[in-house]
Amino acid sequence: MIAYVTVGADDIAAAKRFYSAFLPALGYGLKEGPEGLSYALPVEPGQSPVFPDFYVKPPFDGGPASAGNGVMVAFEARNQAQVRALHAAALAAGGHDEGQPGFRAAYGPQFYVSYLRDPQGNKIALFSSNPAEPGRDG
């Protein structure tokens, strides 16, 4: 099980604008500290944490943050409309488009996805595979 994912950022304020434009809509809460941003799903008393957490932090080595070549973090939305809305919100909050919301021929017929880059260049996907919605072929 993946417990957490961390991406680097040199400008934490810009990262906060970007990630706070869509992660709260997916249920993530934010805790800020001197070490950066920590987004986590809520935990009911007596329940185990829901993973993974998502952290945005300056690199520990003190060097500049850089996006990993071939690295992407994907967040699941409730439906296709939410993918579109969150993609637009993330763009308005400083993100860069890497692929408009829609179906892709290379993926399953229910996989509706959009792609973004955060202000640091980290690649993010927002997707829905909701079987109650029309698929690519329907």
Measured on CA atoms in the order 121, 31, 89, 106, is the torsion positive or negative?
positive
Q: Is residue 112 part of a domain?
A: yes
111: containing domain: 4-59+70-128
Q: What is the CATH number of the domain that holds 45?
A: 3.10.180.10
Mean pLDDT for the stretch of residues 56-83? 96
Question: Could you read off the pLDDT of 4-50 as tens digits, one per residue?
Answer: 999 999 999 999 999 999 999 999 999 999 899 999 999 989 999 88
What is each CA distance from 128 to 29, 44, 82, 113, in whole angstroms?
21, 25, 8, 6
Mean pLDDT for the stretch of residues 71-82? 97
Residue 28 has a pLDDT of 97
Q: Is residue 133 part of a domain?
A: no
Q: Is residue 104 part of a domain?
A: yes
Q: Is residue 43 part of a domain?
A: yes
Instruction: Report the predicted TM-score, pTM, of the whole model to 2 decimal places.
Output: 0.93
Residue 66 has a pLDDT of 94
**What is the number of domains present in the chain?**
1
Q: Is residue 11 part of a domain?
A: yes
Residue 137 has a pLDDT of 87
Q: Is residue 65 part of a domain?
A: no
Q: Is residue 136 part of a domain?
A: no
Average pLDDT taken over every residue of the chain: 96
Residues 6 or more apart from 12 whose CB is under 8 A from it? Answer: 36, 37, 56, 57, 58
DSSP state of 25: G
Q: Is residue 86 part of a domain?
A: yes
